[in-house]
Chains A and B, each alone.
Chain A
Amino acid sequence: MRCYRSSSFHAGRERGAVLFVSLVFLVLITLLALTATSTSILQERMTGGVHNSQLALMGAETTLRGAEWNIWNKSNGAAGSNKLHCSPTGGVTNDSCYTDQAGVNATILAFRNAKNWLGTSGDGAKAYATSTLSYGASSAQASASLESTPRYLMEDLGKVLPPNAPSSGQGAARLAIGSVAAGAQTLYSYRITARSTGGNQGSVRAAESNFVALPPSH
Chain B
Amino acid sequence: MNRHRYDNWQGATAARGFTLIELMVAITLGILVSVGLITVFDAVSTNNKVQQQLSEMQENGRYAITRINNDLRLAYRQISNTTGYSGLQTPGANGAVNLGVAPDVYATAGIPFPDGTVTAPTGWKATTTHWPLSPKYFISGTVPTYVPAASSTTAGARVPGSDVITMHYLNSEGWSSYNNEVTFTCTGAFLTSVVVTPLTTPAAYKSPVANFAAGNLAMLTSTSGDESIFPVSAAGSSASQTLTPLVASMINAANKVRCPGSGEVKLFNFSTDFITVTYWLKLVADPQVTSPPRFIPTLVRSQRDNTGVGPQDLELVQGVEQMEFRYGAQRANGQVEFVTAAAVTTDSSAANCPAPPLSFSDINFFTTVPTYETGCLWRAVKSVEAHILVNSINNLYTLGRDEQNYTYFDNNFTPASATATMPSTGLTAGSMMRREFITLVSVRNYNN
Give residues in A with beta carbon < 8 Å to B.
4, 7-8, 39, 43, 46, 50, 68, 71-72, 101-106, 108-110, 113-114, 155, 157-165, 167, 171-175, 187, 189, 191, 209-214
Contacts and interface: CB of A to CB of B under 8 A. Distances in A.
Interface stretch (B32-40, B76-84, B342-350): B76-84
7 contacts: A103-B180, A158-B262, A158-B263, A163-B102, A173-B87, A174-B89, A210-B81
Q: Kindly name the residue among A103, A167, A174 whose own CB sees the greatest number of chain B CB atoms within 10 A.
A: A167
A110 B85 CA distance: 29
Contacts of B444: 209
B362 interface: yes
Closest A-B pairs by Cβ, 7 of them: A172-B87, A158-B263, A157-B223, A211-B84, A101-B178, A210-B82, A212-B84
Given A7-B8, A114-B204, A160-B225, A189 B82 contact: yes
Contact of B263 (A72, A106, A157, A214): A157
B57 interface: no
Contact of A163 (B12, B15, B263, B358): B358
A24 B328 CA distance: 62
B91 A175 contact: yes
B101 interface: yes
Nearest to A156: B263
Given A164-B358, A164-B359, A167-B262, A212 B91 contact: no
B85 A212 contact: yes
A213 B85 contact: yes
Nearest to A43: B55
A105 B179 CA distance: 7
Contacts of B84: 68, 71-72, 211-213
B86 interface: yes
A107 B104 CA distance: 33
Contacts of B357: 163
A163 B85 contact: no
B86 A212 contact: yes
B180 A175 contact: no
Q: Kindly name the residue among A8, A102, A162, A174 whose own CB sees the greatest number of chain B CB atoms within 10 A.
A: A162
Contact of A174 (B87, B205, B224, B225): B87
Given A159-B261, A175-B91, A189-B82, 14 more contacts: A8-B15, A102-B178, A108-B178, A109-B179, A109-B202, A113-B205, A161-B87, A163-B357, A164-B359, A174-B89, A175-B85, A209-B83, A210-B81, A210-B83
Contacts of A209: 81-83, 444
Interface class of chain B by DSSP = loop
Given A161-B225, A173-B88, A212 B82 contact: yes
Nearest to B22: A1
B334 to A, nearest CB: 12
B67 interface: no
Contacts of A211: 82-84
Given A109-B205, A189-B263, A162 B87 contact: yes
A78 B132 CA distance: 39
A7 B12 contact: yes
Contacts of A101: 178, 264
A171 B102 contact: no
A72 B444 CA distance: 17
Nearest to B263: A158
B15 A7 contact: yes
A189 B262 CA distance: 11
A8 B16 CA distance: 11
Contact of B85 (A46, A113, A114, A174): A174
Contacts of B49: none
A189 B80 CA distance: 10
A168 B83 CA distance: 22
Nearest to B260: A167
Interface in B68-123: 80-89, 91, 96, 101-102, 104
B89 A173 contact: yes
Given A50-B62, A164-B362, A175-B91, A110 B263 contact: no
Nearest to A115: B204
B263 A159 contact: yes
B226 A163 contact: yes
Interface in B355-406: 357-359, 362
Contacts of B85: 172, 174-175, 187, 212-214
A162 B358 contact: yes
A159 B222 CA distance: 10
Given A7-B15, A161-B224, A163-B101, A104 B83 contact: no
Given A7-B15, A43-B55, A110-B205, A163 B104 contact: yes
Interface string B424-448: 0000000000000000000010000
B220 interface: no
B66 to A, nearest CB: 8
A173 B361 CA distance: 15
B199 interface: yes
Contact of B223 (A105, A171, A173, A210): A210
Nearest to B202: A106
A101 B81 CA distance: 20
A208 B101 CA distance: 19
Q: Kindly name the residue among B15, B85, B86 whose own CB sees the greatest number of chain A CB atoms within 10 A.
A: B85
A213 B199 CA distance: 31
A165 to B, nearest CB: 8
Interface in B229-268: 258, 261-264
A180 to B, nearest CB: 11
B224 A104 contact: no
